[in-house]
Homo-oligomer: A and B are copies of this chain.
């Protein structure tokens, strides 16, 4: 597990590299996402930021922060859960991962999220299914409702 402030620095560097700005507020939201390591709703994050920094953000503001982070590939929106999660590849040097199709495993119980890479052959088959059915894939992101190891153990 990487140091969070280090990750934030890297994120800022990534933004600088193509002329966008990781402002204080944006950084706070990202920091909260990184610290929790879990998926959080926009409203969860409003609470987190308030808690950690005493900064009360309006919903509109929070959604703007999140849109920015997602557009910069610093975070992902999980549509299945209506929550957001930090990208697990921020500190990778290149953008080689950003062009892969991510597969998200979302723990229904504790909102822990693991972002794993899908085998490219598997993606090929999925998209093949899609085009055979006459559809075009828009946002190739696979999300699955799961139970993480810890929560499965507790439940048993």
Contact = CB atoms under 8 A, between A and B. Distances in A.
A84 to B, nearest CB: 15
B152 A146 contact: no
Interface in A24-52: none
B114 A119 contact: no
Interface stretch (A2-10, A11-19, A61-69, A125-133): A125-133
Tier of interface size on chain A: 20 to 34
B125 A136 contact: no
Contacts of A108: 138
A113 B121 CA distance: 25
B134 A145 contact: no
B144 A140 contact: yes
Contacts of A144: 126, 130, 137-138, 140, 142
A156 to B, nearest CB: 11
A149 B125 contact: no
Contacts of A116: 129, 133
Contacts of A149: 134-135
Given A129-B116, A130-B144, A107 B122 contact: no
A73 to B, nearest CB: 17
